[in-house]
Chains A and B, each alone.
Chain A
Amino acid sequence: MHHIRLDSDTDFDGWRKAARGLVLADVVPADVTWTVAGDEPELFDGPGLAPGAGAFAEAQASFTDSASTQSASTQSTFSHSPSSQPASLSDDTPSPSPTQTFNVPARFVELAKTAILHRDPQRFAYLYQLLWRLRTNPELMQVATDPDVARLQAMAKAIRRDEHKMHAFVRFREIGREPKSRYVAWFEPEHHIVELAAPFFARRFADMEWSILTPDICAHWDGHAVAFTPGVAKSMAPSDDRLEETWRTYYASIFNPARLKTKAMQAEMPKKYWRNLPEAALIKPLIEEAERKTSAMVAAEATAPKKPQRQEQPMTKTTKHGAETLAHLREEAKDCRACDLWKPATQTVFGEGPQHATVMLVGEQPGDKEDLAGKPFVGPAGQMLDRALAEAGIDRAKTYVTNAVKHFKFVPRGKIRLHQKPNTPEIKACRQWYERELATIKPQLVVAMGATAAQSVLGKITPINKNRGHLLNQADGTQVLVTVHPSYLLRLPDEDAKALEYKRFVDDLKIVAAHLNKAHAA
């Protein structure tokens, strides 16, 4: 039998050193008992000596965590560190055989550091039991259904929950008044978590002097470092705070009596915490009152409404002067319901550009970004267009840029929206806006980019490749150039094809530029 006595309830380093020695000396878990200094050993057999027991020789032990199943990044700090303070070990710690080595998965170290804070006196033994088994089965940590793993994981979960609840339910009480005040809290954690939970308060309340008093151990912050002192009695903590009545007012007012769900409350805020929560005294009366209040609320006749207390003028939007007709058109299009595309979209994306532009560029429909911004061609396709226009020598600011369909058609897929091609009825429904834009702007030349634009501009399905490269004369005197949509260039997977198609697109735009120059010269 080996009796290991650890320095404290949270003495992970001591446990690690002892466990390392025990494993290397082949001591089976059944032959080890664990106690904490100060606790009376109970239920344990008398001391027994393992063969080879003697002074703890740590130098040769190679107890590293380069577990075979773990990637390098998950290796932990559970490595042998000769500089660390030797743990207080009883004399019967066996000395390891100098040649043996074994690996520990980093996941075990994480688990052990947490589970060791559990109040269960058997925790050291449970951990050693798992460590013992890991020696021959390093993949055990991944078997969530293994009883030893499952038990320790449940214990670690209880620790994390207790820590979280301590972060949540500590209530500071002020002693003195700002700026010379101190804040003191009384808390009763379920497990040995004060040292684990204290850094959180240091990060959060760095500019306060605070103490958290508990029966086991107390944490103090002086603005520079966290210090720990032994546990105290509750009477050492202040019993009231000037803000608590206000806090209770808040608690009572934020509660909605029409939806009583006390089980949900208690699942998250178990009764054991109530005695240290200033607001908890209200729980019982609030519940009792709730039913009465709600039925009174429902039973009450709706009272005659007061006169609405509108003081100021209703909020109106100012409309910009100038370019009146186009502005009117745009305003009217905002509420377009000619097809169903408006509903899932954010807004109508109307055309943009000078009222008397000589060139009108028509695309298919707004995309994701255009829908959000309310402006045409501002997304990736817009950037492609900008680049090509610049290369062809056309100033976008002098053109009118619009789309054949003015709402974004899409299907939502999780966090993104997948573009959908508009169908013929939608193109037809939206054509009125194109026609009115055309009539208002009267451009000399219309560039239809992509099949949808070509269909809308030319009034019939028009293949791009057969018709691109030259101007098409329309009955109304405008000339139309058909080309690809810039998003087509974005979708081409092959870099060479992309470069070639981009060049063809720029060449098409150069026809526009030439036409403009001619018109300008004339």
Chain B
Amino acid sequence: MDVQRKLAILADAAKYDASCASSGTEKRDSRDGKGLGSTAPGMGICHSYAPDGRCISLLKVLLTNACNYDCLYCVNRASSNVPRARFTVDEVVQLTLDFYRRNYIEGLFLSSGIIRSADYTMEQVVEVARRLREEHHFRGYIHLKTIPEADDALIAKAGRYADRLSINIEVPEENSLAKLAPEKDVRAIRRTMGRLRLRLDEASEAKAEARKQPSRARPPRFAPAGQSTQMIVGADSATDQTILDTSANLYGSYNLKRVYYSAFSPIPDSSRALPLQAPPLVREHRLYQADWLMRFYGFGAQEIIDPSVGMLSLEMDPKLAWALRHRERFPLDVNRASREDLLRVPGFGRKAVDRIIDTRRHSAIRSADLAKLHIPRNKALPFIVLPDHRPPTSLLDGARLAERFRPKAQQLGFGF
């Protein structure tokens, strides 16, 4: 089988992993002339976008899609009839370098089906990273999937070469994982996330120490872009509340950089035990919005979702839905309100809030300024007070406010 055919199979097998970030790692470049590559400080770079709207930043492939496990939601499960392939370590290394030199990618995201044993699989994955770093002095981004049961020494090695490590929690509820992925063990996954977090903490403490005493040797490197995970949404019956609780728990426990939500997607040769239809993609989108509210807007996992429903509204964004349930907190005077309160106004993003706080010290915000702050007027106006605007009390108290934000009924037909 030639490399191109293998690539087709092994990229196809990897595409259900949503993560493609190349951000948040240490700053590196190759100006010393010895190696290849650099990392973009701050944000990563998306080199292309597929028609599914997803960013293509990394060469995302599996080392092999042969797998001992039989996870029902997975296209690569042992009982699936998909064609199988396996890259050699050299092939992945060469492909990464070839793509990188042409500026197609930021680096490599390597995962693998479980073959022989957790340690054997992990060893192969780590070997690719080692060769890229040590033999080719590759300074680009490397994301490695961590096999939960892998040996501590292999994990340490993975962290030395990789920018980011990840282990997928797969589904939000433990009992559904037992049904869908009988060989997987949430407890082993969590223990390994805990192991990673301890090493990440250790590395950052050592780094802080080294900053204080620059004379000392550099501390061992460990995954400077941290760890992340992915949850499949819609393959089981978990509610959005359960999903957010799980996320809050994971963020707090393992200091994850990101939890990715991946709407369950129909796969070729799927199992009978799975829903045939995909959940609406907008559910995934709403979960990301809620995740952002938890991480950047000061919302707790328990307050975002209407407890009587347990699910996020598909019709409107979670902050708007929250504001409609908490009208007693509005309208808010934009020129006086605290940062925390401003962040809770529908349509107010973090940047807009920063600009408001800067601007209002010098000049009062008026309704004509909203556009310059990139704030959607219709969404924000019912909830705010400005020198030249006050929403009528009847609007905030009335039942018709929510109606305003519901999408208009659409004629049936194909989006064109």
- A-to-B contact residues, CB < 8 Å: 139-140, 142-147, 150, 164, 167-174, 183, 185, 200-208, 223, 241, 243, 245-247, 249-265, 268-269, 277, 279, 283, 286-287, 290, 294, 297-298, 300, 302-303, 305-312, 315, 334, 343-344, 346-347, 369, 371-374, 410, 412-417
CB of B310 to closest CB in A, whole Å: 18
CB of B66 to closest CB in A, whole Å: 6
CB of A124 to closest CB in B, whole Å: 22
Partner of B276, one of A202, A250, A298: A298
In the complex, are the beta carbons of A417 and B51 less than 8 A apart? no
In the complex, are the beta carbons of A262 and B195 less than 8 A apart? no
CB of A389 to closest CB in B, whole Å: 23
Partner of B8, one of A253, A269, A298: A253
Given the known inter-chain contacts A247-B99, A258-B266, please indicate yes or no for A374 contacting B191, CB distance below 8 A.
yes
State in angstroms the CA–CA spacing of A310 and B95 once bound together.
29
In the complex, are the beta carbons of A346 and B194 less than 8 A apart? yes
Given the known inter-chain contacts A170-B103, A205-B36, A347-B194, please indicate yes or no for A164 contacting B359, CB distance below 8 A.
no
In the complex, are the beta carbons of B99 and A255 less than 8 A apart? no
State in angstroms the CA–CA spacing of A255 and B265 once bound together.
12
**B-chain residues with CB within 8 Å of residue A147 when the two chains form the complex:** 372
Closest chain A residue, CB of each to CB of B366: A145
State in angstroms the CA–CA spacing of A140 and B7 once bound together.
55
State in angstroms the CA–CA spacing of A298 and B363 once bound together.
58
Partner of B48, one of A172, A241, A263, A277: A277
Closest chain B residue, CB of each to CB of A258: B265
In the complex, are the beta carbons of A247 and B104 less than 8 A apart? yes
Partner of B30, one of A204, A300, A308: A204
Selected A-B contacts with CB under 8 Å, 26 pairs:
A140-B362, A143-B363, A144-B372, A146-B363, A147-B372, A168-B48, A172-B102, A183-B101, A202-B31, A205-B103, A206-B29, A206-B30, A255-B50, A258-B278, A261-B281, A265-B50, A265-B53, A294-B266, A297-B266, A297-B270, A302-B270, A306-B81, A311-B116, A312-B68, A315-B149, A343-B174
In the complex, are the beta carbons of A373 and B52 less than 8 A apart? no
**A-chain residues with CB within 8 Å of residue B11 when the two chains form the complex:** 249-250, 253-254
- Is B160 at the interface (CB under 8 A from chain A)? no
In the complex, are the beta carbons of A298 and B191 less than 8 A apart? no
**B-chain residues with CB within 8 Å of residue A142 when the two chains form the complex:** 358-359, 361-362
In the complex, are the beta carbons of A309 and B102 less than 8 A apart? no
In the complex, are the beta carbons of A302 and B29 less than 8 A apart? no
**A-chain residues with CB within 8 Å of residue B248 when the two chains form the complex:** 412
| B371-390 CB contacts (< 8 Å) to partner A | 372-373
**B-chain residues with CB within 8 Å of residue A415 when the two chains form the complex:** 251-252, 255
Contact with A along B83-113 (1 / 0, CB 8 A): 0000000000001001101111000000000
Partner of B49, one of A269, A315, A343: A269
Given the known inter-chain contacts A143-B359, A306-B79, A309-B66, please indicate yes or no for A204 contacting B29, CB distance below 8 A.
yes
**B-chain residues with CB within 8 Å of residue A254 when the two chains form the complex:** 11-12, 14-15, 50, 56, 60
**B-chain residues with CB within 8 Å of residue A263 when the two chains form the complex:** 53
CB of B65 to closest CB in A, whole Å: 11
In the complex, are the beta carbons of B266 and A315 less than 8 A apart? no
Partner of A206, one of B31, B51, B54, B80: B31
CB of B95 to closest CB in A, whole Å: 7
State in angstroms the CA–CA spacing of A103 and B307 once bound together.
56
**B-chain residues with CB within 8 Å of residue A261 when the two chains form the complex:** 51-54, 281
Additional pairs, 13, CB under 8 Å, beyond known A168-B48, A203-B31? A142-B359, A171-B104, A207-B36, A247-B102, A254-B12, A255-B52, A259-B263, A265-B53, A286-B51, A305-B81, A347-B190, A412-B253, A416-B252
- Is B55 at the interface (CB under 8 A from chain A)? yes
State in angstroms the CA–CA spacing of A168 and B35 once bound together.
20
State in angstroms the CA–CA spacing of A371 and B195 once bound together.
10
In the complex, are the beta carbons of A204 and B38 less than 8 A apart? yes
| B18-57 CB contacts (< 8 Å) to partner A | 29-38, 40, 45-56
In the complex, are the beta carbons of B98 and A243 less than 8 A apart? yes
In the complex, are the beta carbons of B277 and A298 less than 8 A apart? yes
Partner of B56, one of A144, A246, A251, A315: A251
- Is B3 at the interface (CB under 8 A from chain A)? yes
In the complex, are the beta carbons of A256 and B362 less than 8 A apart? no
In the complex, are the beta carbons of B80 and A305 less than 8 A apart? yes
Interface size bracket, B side: 35 or more
- Is B127 at the interface (CB under 8 A from chain A)? no
Closest chain A residue, CB of each to CB of B27: A203
Closest chain B residue, CB of each to CB of A418: B252
State in angstroms the CA–CA spacing of A372 and B9 once bound together.
37
Partner of B79, one of A174, A208, A249, A308: A308
**A-chain residues with CB within 8 Å of residue B34 when the two chains form the complex:** 207
- B-to-A contact residues, CB < 8 Å: 3-4, 7-9, 11-12, 14-16, 29-38, 40, 45-56, 59-60, 66, 68, 70, 78-81, 95, 98-99, 101-104, 115-118, 149, 174, 187, 190-191, 193-195, 197-198, 248-249, 251-255, 263, 265-272, 276-278, 281, 295, 301, 355-356, 358-359, 361-363, 365-366, 369, 372-373
Given the known inter-chain contacts A205-B101, A206-B32, A246-B3, please indicate yes or no for A302 contacting B272, CB distance below 8 A.
yes
Given the known inter-chain contacts A262-B53, A309-B66, please indicate yes or no for A207 contacting B266, CB distance below 8 A.
no
CB of A482 to closest CB in B, whole Å: 32
Closest chain A residue, CB of each to CB of B102: A172
Partner of A372, one of B32, B46, B51, B194: B194
**B-chain residues with CB within 8 Å of residue A303 when the two chains form the complex:** 81, 269
Closest chain A residue, CB of each to CB of B358: A142
In the complex, are the beta carbons of A259 and B265 less than 8 A apart? yes
**A-chain residues with CB within 8 Å of residue B193 when the two chains form the complex:** 346
State in angstroms the CA–CA spacing of A475 and B32 once bound together.
74
How many residue pairs bridge A and B at CB < 8 Å?
256
In the complex, are the beta carbons of B46 and A268 less than 8 A apart? yes
State in angstroms the CA–CA spacing of A369 and B359 once bound together.
43
In the complex, are the beta carbons of A255 and B117 less than 8 A apart? no
**B-chain residues with CB within 8 Å of residue A413 when the two chains form the complex:** 252
A-B pairs, 7 with minimum CB distance? A412-B252, A264-B53, A261-B53, A305-B79, A308-B78, A372-B194, A203-B29
CB of A246 to closest CB in B, whole Å: 5
**A-chain residues with CB within 8 Å of residue B79 when the two chains form the complex:** 305-308
In the complex, are the beta carbons of A309 and B60 less than 8 A apart? no
In the complex, are the beta carbons of B51 and A203 less than 8 A apart? no
In the complex, are the beta carbons of B373 and A373 less than 8 A apart? no
State in angstroms the CA–CA spacing of A148 and B122 once bound together.
56
In the complex, are the beta carbons of B68 and A346 less than 8 A apart? no
**B-chain residues with CB within 8 Å of residue A294 when the two chains form the complex:** 266
**A-chain residues with CB within 8 Å of residue B252 when the two chains form the complex:** 410, 412-417
CB of B116 to closest CB in A, whole Å: 5
**A-chain residues with CB within 8 Å of residue B271 when the two chains form the complex:** 302, 305
In the complex, are the beta carbons of B7 and A253 less than 8 A apart? yes
Partner of A315, one of B117, B253, B270: B117
CB of A168 to closest CB in B, whole Å: 5
Given the known inter-chain contacts A203-B29, A255-B50, A265-B49, please indicate yes or no for A310 contacting B104, CB distance below 8 A.
no
Closest chain A residue, CB of each to CB of B294: A414
Given the known inter-chain contacts A265-B50, A286-B51, A346-B193, please indicate yes or no for A302 contacting B7, CB distance below 8 A.
no
Given the known inter-chain contacts A185-B103, A312-B116, please indicate yes or no for A372 contacting B33, CB distance below 8 A.
no
CB of A338 to closest CB in B, whole Å: 16
In the complex, are the beta carbons of B51 and A283 less than 8 A apart? yes
State in angstroms the CA–CA spacing of A145 and B352 once bound together.
11
CB of B203 to closest CB in A, whole Å: 14
CB of A410 to closest CB in B, whole Å: 8
Closest chain A residue, CB of each to CB of B45: A168
Given the known inter-chain contacts A297-B268, A343-B174, please indicate yes or no for A372 contacting B195, CB distance below 8 A.
yes
Partner of A171, one of B35, B103, B253, B268: B103
Of B15, B52, B194, most buried by chain A (CB within 10 Å of CB) is B52
Given the known inter-chain contacts A144-B373, A298-B277, A300-B269, please indicate yes or no for A256 contacting B16, CB distance below 8 A.
yes
State in angstroms the CA–CA spacing of A285 and B166 once bound together.
33
State in angstroms the CA–CA spacing of A164 and B106 once bound together.
13
CB of B338 to closest CB in A, whole Å: 18
